[in-house]
Amino acid sequence: MLPTTNRSKREKIHERCKNICPPKDTFERTLLHTHDKSRTDLEQVPKIFMKPDFALDDSLTFNSVLPWSHFNTAGGKGNRDAASSKLLQEKLSHYLDIVEVNIAHQISLRSEAFFHAMTSQHELQDYLKKTSQAVKMLRDKIAQIDKVMCEGSLHILRLALTRNNCVKVYNKLKLMATVHQTQPTVQVLLSTSEFVGALDLIATTQEVLQQELQGIHSFRHLGSQLCELEKLIDKMMIAEFSTYSHSDLNRPLEDDCQVLEECVINKVSQTEEIDTDVVVKLADQMRMLNFPQWFDLLKDIFSKFTIFLQRIKATLNIIHSVVLSVLDKNQRTRELEEISQQKNAAKDNSLDTEVAYLIHEGMFISDAFGEGELTPIAVDTTSQRNASPNSEPCSSDSVSEPECTTDSSSSKEHTSSSAIPGGVDIMVSEDMKLTDSELGKLANNIQELLYSASDICHDRAVKFLMSRAKDGFLEKLNSMEFITLSRLMETFILDTEQICGRKSMSLLGALQSQANKFVNRFHEERKTKLSLLLDNERWKQADVPAEFQDLVDSISDGKIALPEKKSGTTEERKPAEVLIVEGQQYAVVGTVLLLIRIILEYCQCVDNIPSVTTDMLTRLSDLLKYFNSRSCQLVLGAGALQVVGLKTITTKNLALSSRCLQLIVHYIPVIRAHFEARLPPKQYSMLRHFDHITKDYHDHIAEISAKLVAIMDSLFDKLLSKYEVKAPVPSACFRNICKQMTKMHEAIFDLLPEEQTQMLFLRINASYKLHLKKQLSHLNVINDGGPQNGLVTADVAFYTGNLQALKGLKDLDLNMAEIWEQKR
């Protein structure tokens, strides 16, 4: 309720305002009329003034509101412009008046709402005053209740909390004193090489610093100092392990042999040819060794490397077994913990939770245990843990005693939780333990260490190999020496792979590099040798020594290899006129015999060094192509006339060249099968080189046959063009032809097989018939039974008889009827 005086005053003010204001209906009609009038007035104001983005700083807006034409006073229009400007000013003033009137009108329309708000505010102030008085009365009552009933009890509770806080501070100070002794204790442990105990103490202290003493200003640097101590201990352990490993690995590899570096020195010092006073550097001294001495030295080095790796593997196996035993122990511990947790959970569920609400010195029992007893017990337990490493230290040589390490781990795991009176369990942090993933990583690192040791041995071997190869020593080795070296290196690579379980690639790569250089030199030497042989070849049939016959006989047995020399028997056997290959006779030149041996050397090199198979195939293909092209230049191209001074290329030279090519063609499938058995399947496409070579050789053989036919064809053309059908019979022309045919037969019959000779003479006979038919047609001699026909028939019969009388041509079908023109 409002006071009477204030209310009467406000009612009088309201009545006076009510009398002044017109009635509502009149007011609404007046308001409607005024609203329409205001709208009409506002429509007089240009729209540009009503835009929300109206701004005179815009040049277009400014020019629209204030045109420059109103301010132009130049010339005689000054009075008129002044009047125009005044008119503009009045117009703008009028617009301003309209807007102000409308604003005032809008404010008057909302006067009643304004007065209503003022009235509500006065009422609110009255209510707030009454509420304030009620709140003051309530506070006085609460203060009286607090003084009478609560102040004493709360004082007791505050004293209890203060006591607990004092206990916490005391226990915290005790813990701080214990932590303060960490560094001296660690130093004592390190002085006795108790690395495990020192690390355990550091890990426990760091755990306490992070959990229970976090934020203590005086210990702000202790954490970093402990980290530095850990790094120091790590270095000390590494140094001690390195010392142990160094002493273990530097033990004599054999009873009478020293370590690896001394092996080379001893070998060099035992060589009488090397003056160590003149040649100071060990590498230079080593380069003065000949191949047998250097090879023995390399064999000794590989042997020492193998023993060295075996010793490293034995040591690492011990460490690896320790890691695996810890992993197994962790697995069993986790299983025991799971069983224990299940039992504890069942026991906790049986406790009566209502006892937690019993009052103990003004606090709950659970709070009392948590605040009053838990902390000191935790401190004592921590102190016991800090001192525990000194009780039963584990030997620092635990690497060689796996049982000690596993027992220590087991004891830690079993003491990771301890029970105290009251049933509260204190859990010990296990951050210091390695997790299973870390142990697995450690096991992998142990294996990687063995790999690294193998790689280092291979790298040192490569360095030793390359230092000897600087002067081209390895490239000058003969085939047997390089093969021996290659086999030794491959054996060492396989031995280290079996020890370590992985193949090191550095020595293998060096071997491949040297093998490539060897292949290049091997090929260049034999290609140069073949080139010299061909340039000095006179293309005459050569005798076949017995060793070459043995060579091809070994190939016939399916084994492509150079046969061992038979002592005493080879000299007693006389050379043969021809080479017998699978029952066929081959008359050859000496170059081809040596080429067969060279081809076998390529094949045997592939057997001895499998890694060069693809390179050898390419080089052998190049060699065979070179022999084909060069022999073609010398024989068919008549290059031998200038190279070796032959007077002419005879038919015997041509036939002998053809037979030599046929011998090589005979062995190409055998060579292909040899390489195919040693190539990986993905490289079988390289075998197409042999197909191309075979085609080239067949084309060359066909060109030689065509050349032999062409020789007789030119002879027939020369002789038969002068043939005249007249007595005597046989004519001189036919006697000359038969003489030349006999010479041709004598030249090639002993060189070419009988079937090839028959085919060649059939082609020659076809050429003869063609030229004779042409000459008879020119002479108008026909098969009419006349005298001329008889003379020709007699000459042809003489030619046929002589040709069939030659060896191997008796059954040759000459078909001489084709020489006559067909009767029209």
Burial of 542 (0-12, 13-18, 19+ CB in 10 A): buried
Report the b/e string of 460-476 with b at 16+ CB within 10 A: ebbebbeebbeeeebee
Could you tell me if 425 and 201 are in contact, meaning their C-beta atoms sit under 8 angstroms apart?
no
- Number of folded domains in the chain? 4
Band the pLDDT of 11: cuts 50, 70, 90. Answer: low
300: Cβ contacts below 8 Å, ≥ 6 apart: 263, 267
Are 621 and 684 in a shared domain? yes
Band the pLDDT of 620: cuts 50, 70, 90. Answer: very high
Residue 363: φ, ψ to 5°: -135, 165
Pick the closest to residue 111 from 192, 191, 20 (CA basis). 20
* Helix residue ranges, H only, 48-194: 59-65, 78-109, 111-145, 151-180, 182-191
pLDDT at 60: 84
pLDDT at 419: 36
pLDDT at residue 180 greater than cutoff 90: no
Are 129 and 186 in a shared domain? yes
Is 223 strand, coil or helix? helix
pLDDT at 389: 37
Are 336 and 447 in a shared domain? yes
Are 217 and 319 in a shared domain? no
Determine the average pLDDT of the residues in 331-347. 76
pLDDT at residue 345 greater than cutoff 80: no
Give the separation between CA 742 and CA 281, rounded to whole angstroms.
77
Determine the average pLDDT of the residues in 192-218. 87
pLDDT at residue 413 greater than cutoff 60: no
Which span out of 366-370, 472-476, 601-605 was modeled with the highest average pLDDT? 601-605
Give the separation between CA 265 and CA 261, rounded to whole angstroms.
7
pLDDT at residue 597 greater than cutoff 90: yes
Is 725 strand, coil or helix? coil
Pick the closest to residue 773 from 717, 714, 713, 821 (CA basis). 821
Give the separation between CA 470 and CA 798, rounded to whole angstroms.
77
- Joined tokens for residue 177: 């004193």
Are 551 and 681 in a shared domain? yes
Give the separation between CA 539 and CA 591, rounded to whole angstroms.
9
Band the pLDDT of 532: cuts 50, 70, 90. Answer: very high
Domain boundary among 679, 706, 733: 706
pLDDT at 212: 84
pLDDT tens digits, 100-141:
888 887 777 777 777 777 778 888 888 999 999 999 999 999
41: Cβ contacts below 8 Å, ≥ 6 apart: 98, 101, 102
Could you tell me if 375 and 168 are in contact, meaning their C-beta atoms sit under 8 angstroms apart?
yes
Determine the average pLDDT of the residues in 215-229. 86
Beta-bridge partners for 586: 579
pLDDT at 264: 58
- Joined tokens for residue 521: 């030199």
Give the separation between CA 469 and CA 520, rounded to whole angstroms.
16
- Joined tokens for residue 744: 């041709």
Would you say residue 811 lies in a domain?
A: yes
CATH of the domain at 797: 1.20.1280.130
Give the separation between CA 773 and CA 752, rounded to whole angstroms.
30
Could you tell me if 216 and 176 are in contact, meaning their C-beta atoms sit under 8 angstroms apart?
yes
Would you say residue 654 lies in a domain?
A: yes
Band the pLDDT of 333: cuts 50, 70, 90. Answer: confident
Would you say residue 109 lies in a domain?
A: no
- Give the rounded percent of residues in the chain with a pLDDT score beyond 90: 24
pLDDT at 405: 36
574: Cβ contacts below 8 Å, ≥ 6 apart: 546
Domain boundary among 654, 674, 706: 706
Give the separation between CA 738 and CA 263, rounded to whole angstroms.
83
pLDDT tens digits, 46-58:
888 888 888 888 8
809: Cβ contacts below 8 Å, ≥ 6 apart: 745, 757, 758, 761, 803
pLDDT at 163: 94
Helix (H), strand (E) at residue 579? strand 579-581
pLDDT at 705: 94
Determine the average pLDDT of the residues in 518-525. 90
pLDDT at residue 513 greater than cutoff 70: yes
Band the pLDDT of 448: cuts 50, 70, 90. Answer: confident
Domain boundary among 671, 706, 741: 706
Q: For the ranges 182-196, 337-351, 536-550, which has the lowest average pLDDT?
A: 337-351
Q: For the ranges 63-72, 164-173, 372-381, which has the lowest average pLDDT?
A: 372-381
Burial of 782 (0-12, 13-18, 19+ CB in 10 A): middle
Helix (H), strand (E) at residue 417? strand 417-419
Give the separation between CA 566 and CA 587, rounded to whole angstroms.
25
Give the separation between CA 72 and CA 312, rounded to whole angstroms.
109
Read off the amino acid at residue 812.
L
Pick the closest to residue 198 from 150, 232, 170 (CA basis). 232
Are 630 and 726 in a shared domain? no
Q: Name which residue leads in pLDDT, 566 or 425.
A: 566
Beta-bridge partners for 427: 417
- Joined tokens for residue 775: 């000459």
Give the separation between CA 202 and CA 230, rounded to whole angstroms.
8
In the chain, what is the straight-line distance between the N-terminal and C-terminal CA atoms, in Å?
A: 160
425-427 and 417-419: which strand pairing?
Answer: antiparallel
Residue span of the structural domain in which 315 resides: 285-345+437-490
Are 241 and 149 in a shared domain? yes
pLDDT tens digits, 754-794:
999 999 999 998 998 898 888 888 888 888 878 888 888 88
Band the pLDDT of 592: cuts 50, 70, 90. Answer: very high
263: Cβ contacts below 8 Å, ≥ 6 apart: 257, 297, 300, 301, 304
Q: Which residue has the tokens 């038979």?
A: 566
Are 173 and 199 in a shared domain? yes
Band the pLDDT of 676: cuts 50, 70, 90. Answer: very high
pLDDT tens digits, 382-406:
444 344 433 333 333 333 333 333 3
Other Cβ atoms within 10 Å of 575 Cβ, number: 12
Is 513 strand, coil or helix? helix
pLDDT tens digits, 234-278:
888 888 888 877 777 777 665 433 344 447 556 555 665 555 554
Give the separation between CA 632 and CA 657, rounded to whole angstroms.
9
Are 205 and 230 in a shared domain? yes
Would you say residue 583 lies in a domain?
A: yes
Are 582 and 689 in a shared domain? yes
Give the separation between CA 570 and CA 550, rounded to whole angstroms.
10
- Give the rounded percent of residues in the chain with a pLDDT score beyond 70: 77
Give the separation between CA 90 and CA 155, rounded to whole angstroms.
85
Would you say residue 297 lies in a domain?
A: yes
Determine the average pLDDT of the residues in 416-432. 38
Are 550 and 663 in a shared domain? yes
Question: What average pLDDT is seen over the chain?
Answer: 78
Are 323 and 460 in a shared domain? yes
pLDDT at 247: 77
Would you say residue 47 lies in a domain?
A: no
Q: For the ranges 28-37, 554-563, 761-770, 786-795, which has the lowest average pLDDT?
A: 28-37
Could you tell me if 659 and 588 are in contact, meaning their C-beta atoms sit under 8 angstroms apart?
yes
Other Cβ atoms within 10 Å of 664 Cβ, number: 21
10: Cβ contacts below 8 Å, ≥ 6 apart: 119
pLDDT at residue 440 greater than cutoff 70: yes
